[in-house]
Amino acid sequence: MHRVARAVAAATDTVFGLMGNGNAALIRELAELGVPLVTVRHEAAAVAAADAFHRATGRLAAATTTYGPGFSNALTPLIDAALSRTPLLLLAGSCDGVDHEALAAACGVRVEQDVEVAVEYALRESVPVVVFLPFHRPLPDANHGDVSRRLEDAEQPLILAGRGAVGRRDEVVALAQALGADVATTAPAKGFFHGVDGVRDLGICGGFAAPAARQAMRSADVVLAVGASLNRFTLKYSFGADAHVIQLDPHAPTSPRVDSGIRSLPRVRGGAGKQRPPVHLAHHPGEGICADGRLDPRSLFTRLNEVLPRERIIVTDGGHFIAWPCMYLDVPGPDHLVLVGTGFESIGLGFGSAVGVIEAAGNRLTVLVTGDGGGLMALADAETVLRRVEATGGRCLIVVVNDAAYGAEVHQYGWQGVPEEAMLIPEVDFTAVLGAFGARGSVVRTLEDLREAEKWLAAGGSGTWVLDCRVSRTVVAPYLARD
């Protein structure tokens, strides 16, 4: 990455962008070479700003984004730059699973591997050129086995249910009871096994699991995942290295962690059904106020879980904060916790997704949880949220987890020496911003500041209330903790 950064620094001293996993190392190297990042709040703005910079100066346009949604978010201004014949260098992350080069080709944009070649071509032909920065996760080898026999002979089987299992709940529950298996869910399927007898419910699997449940899941020797995609959130801290993982999914396997793939539920004679002690599923309640004087997000969501009505639908944007609603907010059943952006690891979809949930919620309270970074990226459709709440006579609580930063980047890259400036966001008053659209709200610095919202919730009236929660960056979600 140092060689890439040196080539960029030789071509320009002005780079626009937004930090993510796929370009964090490049941004660090550029800063060390005296090329700071001009930060924006949406990847489309990164390319648009670079394009406009060229038009105003005649110099090379340069921008950088992360992989996946970082690159796809930049496609509209990239197409415009191509049609306008702007000499532009886009340094974008790349990862397995999405054909980034095909996306670039569809935009009529050339891809080069060498930055110097890309710069020379962009300037000579007056066109955009993309250089992809490699970012690969290791893929372990898979193997296969006799699924039914493995489940029947397992000492401590675990059945993991995802959203894809909701339509076959009775069959999955019956299988778990026949095996005497432990059970768990992905975050979107939270509540799937609520009230089921004869099994030990370990709650959400992976990075959002309670500590005791996490330990129990790592003791499983055979895991059957039904309708679960096994993304990095579910696999974090999940299964022991020796566990045999079986996946039932029409498109299985969806992860290199899978050892056997099946297309229908297996028939079993029944396992030993060993009695195991119950597991304490409570999470750390938080410290109230952290050492930096800001609110502990764990305490915030513990309190919110107590005051929110039971009939609630939670919808979250992507970001570091997603751990807190997943871990601390109870839901009455599957599909009452709507997680957006986790598949593509994107942010900025929260307000748009909340519009869909509001239309589906009926008399239930819609709770949108967003970060300040994703909230700013999606701000245009905050007005749509308020408008649809009013039109439907519904109720919506918007919880902004405001740490004045891109928290995921802070916790993943700050300790590696990546410049902090690219990760920070000037503190925005979301009650004032959304108040301009007609929302009421409270800035929350302590738990006592929730009182007005609690009165609004208790009154059961319609409308939208915004909680701008000034939380501490010192509390790291377990799924991003350094191992």
Provide the percentage of residues in the chain whose pLDDT is more than 90.
65
pLDDT tens-digit readout, 12-45: 999 999 998 889 999 999 999 999 999 888 999 8
> 160 and 87, same structural domain?
no
367 falls within a domain:
yes
Neighbours of 481 (CB within 10 A): 11
> 355 and 231, same structural domain?
no
pLDDT for res 266: 86
pLDDT for res 144: 38
pLDDT for res 41: 87
Of the listed ranges 234-238, 342-346, 430-434, the one predicted with least confidence: 342-346
Provide the percentage of residues in the chain whose pLDDT is more than 70.
95
Scanning 67-130, the segments in alpha helix (DSSP H) are 69-72, 75-83, 100-106, 115-125
Of 71, 216, 73, residue with least CA distance to 157:
216
Q: Return the amino acid letter for 275.
A: Q
Query: CATH number for the domain including 200?
Result: 3.40.50.1220
Mean pLDDT of 118-147: 74
pLDDT for res 145: 44
Is it the case that residue 369 has pLDDT exceeding 80?
Answer: yes
Tokens of 106: 């569809």
Angstrom distance (rounded) from CA 386 to CA 392: 10
274 falls within a domain:
no
Please report where in the chains the tokens 């300040």 appear, as a residue. 372
pLDDT for res 138: 39
What lies within 8 Å, CB to CB, of 138 at 6+ separation is none
Domain C-terminal end among 262, 289, 308: 262
Q: In 3-state terms, the chain is what percent helix, strand and coil (to 5)?
A: 40, 20, 40
pLDDT for res 2: 86
Residue 378 CA, distance from chain mean position: 15
> 247 and 328, same structural domain?
no
> 366 and 229, same structural domain?
no
Burial class (CB in 10 A: 0-12, 13-18, 19+), 298: buried
pLDDT for res 273: 57
Tokens of 380: 């245009």
pLDDT for res 147: 84
288: alpha, beta or left? (left if phi > 0; alpha if psi -120 to 50): left
pLDDT for res 253: 64
pLDDT tens-digit readout, 194-233: 889 889 999 999 989 998 999 999 999 999 999 998 888 8
Of 6, 67, 40, 7, residue with least CA distance to 344:
67
Is it the case that residue 338 has pLDDT exceeding 80?
Answer: yes
Is it the case that residue 142 has pLDDT exceeding 80?
Answer: no
Burial class (CB in 10 A: 0-12, 13-18, 19+), 144: exposed
List the domain range (segments joined by +) for residue 96.
2-134
330 falls within a domain:
yes
Angstrom distance (rounded) from CA 474 to CA 468: 18
The residue with greater pLDDT, 252 or 452, is 452
Angstrom distance (rounded) from CA 319 to CA 379: 16
pLDDT band at 409 (very low <50, low <70, confident <90, very high): confident
Tokens of 41: 């709040």
> 437 and 386, same structural domain?
yes
Please report where in the chains the tokens 């000037």 appear, as a residue. 426
> 458 and 388, same structural domain?
yes
Query: CATH number for the domain including 465?
Result: 3.40.50.970
Domain C-terminal end among 134, 156, 182: 134
Mean pLDDT of 416-430: 89
Mean pLDDT of 353-369: 92
> 170 and 37, same structural domain?
no
Helix and strand element counts for the chain (H, E): 19, 18
- Number of compact structural domains in the chain: 3
> 255 and 309, same structural domain?
no
> 183 and 88, same structural domain?
no
38 falls within a domain:
yes
pLDDT band at 236 (very low <50, low <70, confident <90, very high): confident
Please report where in the chains the tokens 């005649």 appear, as a residue. 58
What lies within 8 Å, CB to CB, of 46 at 6+ separation is 16, 17, 18, 40, 63, 64, 65, 74
Angstrom distance (rounded) from CA 392 to CA 405: 34
128: alpha, beta or left? (left if phi > 0; alpha if psi -120 to 50): beta
> 50 and 78, same structural domain?
yes
Which contacts qualify for 230-233: CB closer than 8 Å, 24 or more apart? 230/254, 230/255, 230/257, 230/258, 231/255, 231/342, 231/343, 232/207, 233/186, 233/187, 233/206, 233/207, 233/208, 233/342, 233/479
Mean pLDDT of 299-313: 96
pLDDT tens-digit readout, 148-192: 888 988 999 999 999 999 889 999 999 999 999 999 999 999 999
pLDDT for res 274: 65
Neighbours of 225 (CB within 10 A): 33
Angstrom distance (rounded) from CA 413 to CA 14: 22
Share the mean pLDDT of the chain.
90
208: alpha, beta or left? (left if phi > 0; alpha if psi -120 to 50): alpha
> 41 and 159, same structural domain?
no
Tokens of 410: 């802070």
Is it the case that residue 251 has pLDDT exceeding 50?
Answer: yes
Tokens of 51: 């394009």
Please report where in the chains the tokens 């055979």 appear, as a residue. 222
> 166 and 120, same structural domain?
no
Mean pLDDT of 70-98: 90
